[in-house]
Structure 1
Amino acid sequence: MPEVSTRSQIVATASGDIELRWAEVTDTGRRREANQDAVLAEYPLFVVADGMGGHIGGEIASASTVDRLRPVAEAGNVSAKAIEKALSRAVKDIASHPETTDDGTGTTVTGVYLDVSGPVPHWVTLNIGDSRVYLSRDDSIVQITTDHSVVQELIAAGRLSPEEAENHPYGNVITRAVGPSDGVTPDYVRLDVLDGDRFVICSDGLTKELTDYGIQHFLGEHDDPAAAVEAMLDAALENGGRDNVTIIVLNARLRGAAGEASVFDQDAAVTAPTTTIAGGVASSPAAD
């Protein structure tokens, strides 16, 4: 078991402070020889990348993507424009590497960042591929991102049920990735910030082994992010560990000016995505 610890940060905003606590883990699993996942968990950006490709191509693709996104997180002012510029650079890195010539080389990238550029803070999720972002609120869990996969397209077209999709032969085939032959514009979802928000960002190595209910169960059992990711990883490995497993758990608590727990704007708060945008978010603060 990799060593896991919970980190925290207080984010001051005009509406009050946000206390963030998070932990991350990545593991090769029980059947893979190498770990082609990569993870970035540095405020304000929390991202998982799941590489694919022959030999070590997938490992290079996911690592290149995370390496290009890291300076965006370190700059502290994350935006869709900055993310897409970093992903474009990652594509060039992947294409120029001598060990990423396989046509199937690429990586998913999914995550969430806290946008505090406006008068009221918001979450913004981003996604390319079939890694996922889940949001837990009010004792329920919702998958915020939509998989870019063959089976998801079949489900959306009504040709396949979610139960049938679990064992479909094309279950691992994704329709969008960060790679030499693909675009690099993620889908974005913008969300209000509520007290008690909990995100799970993960590669499909987790969702192959745990249902949404299982993920919610371990969140309910463990308030501490490190304990939650350790419990989920243990369960994924016990259930087979057929793929690399990468998990981030991110908790948020809101504090008013005097330190009391609060929400920013209860009237504006929602429990579902406010906007889903493909091809950029030029109309929102996330794209500034």
Structure 2
Amino acid sequence: MTEPRARLRAAACSDIGPHRATNQDAAFTAPWGAAVADGVGGGPAGDLASAAFIHRLAAGRLDGLEPVQLADTVRSANWDLRAHVERDPSLSGMATTFTGLFASRDGGLLLAHTGDSRAYRLRDGHLVQQSRDDSLVQALVDQGLVSMADAASHPRRNIITASLSGAERDAATVTTHDALPGDRWLLCSDGLTDYVPDEEIRVLMVQNRDAAATAEACVSLALLAGSRDNVTVVVCDVVDTLAADWSAPAATTFHGAAAERFMEGLESA
């Protein structure tokens, strides 16, 4: 397999927040990809759903895949959720959102998404949402029944229309993107975007050069804004492996629920 030139210098920050008993967000970062998942509220074991999916996905090392291969790998990780439910029927109904960014075979990037966790790209100072929310409010916006200005504060904004639950019909939308060194991507749970306007996120993305510092600043701002949810932010800087400042790849790291569950096997492997 040809080694893709594009790589991600990625970092993440996840906080349970002051109003939740558990962190149902999970994330991972690696030079070849990163992702965030948010356990669906109102269902059982949201932390298990997000953590199990993230670990199963990261174990596949999605490095240099084509869109169809990535979609198949997401589907396989989704089946792992079904296996958990088959072993313990009390988990029936657990589900998670998912947004992930991965190096593709052709040297570009692949974005995989389902639910209302989001992906943004900062390029030349402009922050543009690259994912589309799978939500009731987004459907109302598409139909012209709700304005974009009202969508952010709509009382039903947290009702999603797609997620991963282990069902056969579950799927992620996969889109292709160019990988321009200097681009910065942000993947996040709605604990950030429900409370912090895009423009304030953009300012933090521009002001902070370090990916880890940017992720931490975004989480801190969400908590300061009164977020009542878990908050998870992943920041990915697109770098060129031929650049002078490229350093050896870091190991895959897990965050949130994924750092609390399923780590024993990895540490002893």
Which whole-Å deviations, capped at 9, do the CAs of 1:90-136 have from their partners, x for residues lacking one? 333245434423x4x31101111011x23xx1111010100001011
Say which of 1, 12, 15 aligns to 1:27: 15
In the TM superposition, what is the alpha-carbon distance from 1:12 to its structure 2 partner?
5.5
3-state DSSP class of the match of 1:39? strand
Distance 1:125 1:95 in 2: 30
Structure-1 residue corresponding to 2:228: 242
Structure-1 residue corresponding to 2:28: 40
Say which of 29, 47, 50 aligns to 1:59: 47
In the TM superposition, what is the alpha-carbon distance from 1:61 to its structure 2 partner?
1.0
- The ranges of structure 1 where at least 4 consecutive aligned residues each deviate by more than 6 angstroms after the TM superposition are none
Say which of 165, 176, 188 aligns to 1:179: 165
Higher helix share: 2
TM-score by length of 2: 0.82
Q: Retained in 1: the 8 A contact 2:6–2:103?
A: no
Say which of 217, 230, 255 aligns to 2:203: 217
* One-letter code aligned to 1:58: G
Distance 1:54 1:95 in 2: 20
Distance 2:64 2:6 in 1: 16
Higher strand share: 1
Q: Retained in 2: the 8 A contact 1:134–1:144?
A: yes
Greater Cα shift, 222-231 or 39-48: 39-48
In the TM superposition, what is the alpha-carbon distance from 1:43 to its structure 2 partner?
3.1
TM-score by length of 1: 0.77
* One-letter code aligned to 1:84: R
User: Percent same amino acid among aligned pairs?
Assistant: 32
* One-letter code aligned to 1:27: D
Structure-2 residue corresponding to 1:128: 114
| 1:113 aligns to 2:99 (yes or no) | no
* One-letter code aligned to 2:88: H
RMSD: 2.3
Structure-2 residue corresponding to 1:275: none
Say which of 166, 182, 191 aligns to 1:196: 182
List aligned pairs for 1:68-107, cutoff 5 A. 68-73=56-61, 76-78=63-65, 79-80=69-70, 81-94=72-85, 96-101=87-92, 103=93, 105-107=94-96
3-state DSSP class of the match of 2:91? coil
In the TM superposition, what is the alpha-carbon distance from 1:201 to its structure 2 partner?
0.4
3-state DSSP class of the match of 2:50? helix
Structure 1, gaps ≥5 residues long: 1-10, 262-288
Structure-1 residue corresponding to 2:257: none
Say which of 125, 147, 150 aligns to 1:161: 147
Q: In 2 relative to 1, CA 21–260 (structure 1 residues): closer, same or farther, beyond 3 Å?
A: closer
In the TM superposition, what is the alpha-carbon distance from 1:189 to its structure 2 partner?
1.4
3-state DSSP class of the match of 1:170? coil
| 1:208 aligns to 2:191 (yes or no) | no
Q: In 2 relative to 1, CA 31–260 (structure 1 residues): closer, same or farther, beyond 3 Å?
A: closer
Paired positions, count: 241
Q: Retained in 1: the 8 A contact 2:113–2:173?
A: yes
In the TM superposition, what is the alpha-carbon distance from 1:170 to its structure 2 partner?
1.2
Bigger relative contact order, structure 1 or 2, given CA contacts below 8 A and separation 6+? 2
Structure-1 residue corresponding to 2:156: 170
Q: Retained in 1: the 8 A contact 2:14–2:233?
A: yes
Q: Retained in 1: the 8 A contact 2:182–2:238?
A: yes
Distance 1:128 1:194 in 2: 24
Q: Retained in 2: the 8 A contact 1:91–1:178?
A: no
Structure-1 residue corresponding to 2:130: 144
Structure-2 residue corresponding to 1:274: none
* One-letter code aligned to 2:11: A
Greater Cα shift, 56-65 or 168-177: 56-65
